[in-house]
Structure 1
């Protein structure tokens, strides 16, 4: 992987290792002080950590041990993805049923515990890989659904109440420093990221409002533009990626975005054939080079 993405290297997530390796379980594995277990409906807050929660915590230790061994001397940016507080609140059940999203106190406690766990993760990686720069990516696919009151209740007959922007921002702010906020849902959320203090955002190029992206870049922020469409799990050619990049960048009227515009994937590659991942990343890297050359030529 270091030869494919030497500047910004994602820590592999390997989601096919059980409940503790999906987006929610992996984030819960960073949390100490709160216990969780797995029920037929998914993850649930519990009085004590269940075997799946303990396994998720142990999985992080093994992954960090492997990273320390394999990445000694790595001096680039190591990007580590963590599920965000609102996606967790919309996914994890209360002991009494329904989502933590329905309980103001529980969702605040979850957000605080996650922020603390992420801080400890950053510090641990800093000790293990002192030459690397650690970038935490906060994945919030449910952010807009929480804001707009679109998360269904357990019965499926109604929706949880919308969460107002000040509370959304308040839960995200402790995690914002040196982090990237990623949301691949369609809609407008860049202003929430700005208010929370994020300097970087990651978006799906096909689902984003270009005005928001232009304002973000004009304000000095860094943008990771997800030009690889990931939902279909169909590889895309270098030419397709260049076309998509130039479509967005030229409409934004950015002559030279410099280092503030990076290319990436719209979301993760968990559902892809493993044989397609390395070639797609090579295509992405080549597309970034050709897009930069095309912009310089005008």
Structure 2
């Protein structure tokens, strides 16, 4: 694979909190992210933070989104800290190691795999040291089954998704590993756990835009219905696990595939508002909200509009969709969509503070924006 293709496989990434004139905090809800019942908007970190200091990152997350903190990824520390490595570290009974192009399955864990698992354990210790041992809820984020199978290679160097047996083993290992991981987090923080499944490669899998080992190794497109069924079954298994408070499917990296989102309820679907353009996207979002689907919406850069201006933009979009404006207070969460890597933590804190203020405005003023 080329250098660009290598990037495809790995994109699954003092009190420094900032307050300002838009510092309206959200009203915490009674339920959890995966429930369809009405619940006040919540603000949360998308799960990727800059730098190499987990304590500093956890401090910012707590300062701005303390009602719903995320155990973040810090991928600037290298491959062992990326989302694929973390997900493989969670998988039960799966050996893996770093290969020439990507992470690969292996008969036994390699040195890089052990380092990834050790780093993950230290990160969780750092979060607990920062947040304490009792939270209202906590979020963990891992690669979802579709993107994980697309990103990881078999020992022979082919994408796991091209091998039905290897895919089943990997997805099964992720389910069993998540059960243990969620249970450990619930005991550590004495709270329910929301599982965010990042699916950055899902649209490429459906479109057949992933390359194989060579120009002659063609990976065919996967039907939306097949991918939706696979992800829907996975969500069903995860929501049934003890201590799971909800599931979030991250489709924010591309125009959301609404047919897949429809098969993953009760999971929340993360979207970036910048991708909601054109009739098909507007119709898809409108149908999702009208059908009771909860969405988490990213709204832009910290140097852009204020939290209130963003709330007004969302209200206008909802009006264009011809749905009840109160969905803003009942079916919408908000998160940071800004590129975080390479930015100072103070800027990321500012992004999260705007997101928190936006959630508060939606909770109080939906219907009057």
- If the length of structure 1 is used for normalisation, what is the TM-score? 0.88
Given candidates 193, 201, 207, the residue that maps to 2:269 is 201
Once the two structures are TM-superposed, the CA of residue 115 in structure 1 deviates from its matched residue by 1.5
Tell me if 1:24 matches 2:103. Answer: no
| Corresponding residue SS for 2:320 | helix
Gaps of at least 5 residues in structure 2 are: 1-60, 240-245
CA contact (8 A) 1:227 1:241 kept: yes
1:162-202 CA-partner distances (Å, limit 9, x unpaired): 23333552355234512111112434423323324433111
| CA 159–198 in structure 1, closer or farther in 2 if over 3 Å, else same | farther
Q: Match of 1:226?
A: 298
Tell me if 1:255 matches 2:317. Answer: no
| CA 236–133 in structure 1, closer or farther in 2 if over 3 Å, else same | farther
Q: Please, what is the CA RMSD of the aligned residues?
A: 2.4
CA distance in 1, matches of 2:314, 2:227: 34
In terms of fraction of residues, the more strand-rich structure is 1
- If the length of structure 2 is used for normalisation, what is the TM-score? 0.72
| Corresponding residue SS for 1:95 | coil
| Corresponding residue SS for 2:155 | coil
- Map 1:157-236 onto structure 2 (within 5 A): 159-164=218-223, 165-166=225-226, 168-175=228-235, 176-177=238-239, 178-208=246-276, 209-228=281-300, 235-236=303-304
CA contact (8 A) 1:79 1:137 kept: yes
> Which stretch of structure 1 is more off in the superposition, 243-252 or 174-183?
243-252
Once the two structures are TM-superposed, the CA of residue 250 in structure 1 deviates from its matched residue by 2.8
Q: Match of 2:166?
A: 106
How many corresponding residue pairs?
293
- Map 1:1-298 onto structure 2 (within 5 A): 1-72=61-132, 74-130=134-190, 132-156=191-215, 159-164=218-223, 165-166=225-226, 168-175=228-235, 176-177=238-239, 178-208=246-276, 209-228=281-300, 235-238=303-306, 241-252=310-321, 253-257=323-327, 258-266=329-337, 269-291=340-362, 295-298=366-369
| Corresponding residue SS for 2:90 | coil
Work out which structure has the larger RCO, using CA pairs closer than 8 Å and 6 or more positions apart in sequence. 2
Runs of 4+ in 1 over 6 A off after TM superposition: none
CA distance in 2, matches of 1:267, 1:140: 17
Gaps of at least 5 residues in structure 1 are: none
Once the two structures are TM-superposed, the CA of residue 147 in structure 1 deviates from its matched residue by 1.8
| CA 271–173 in structure 1, closer or farther in 2 if over 3 Å, else same | farther
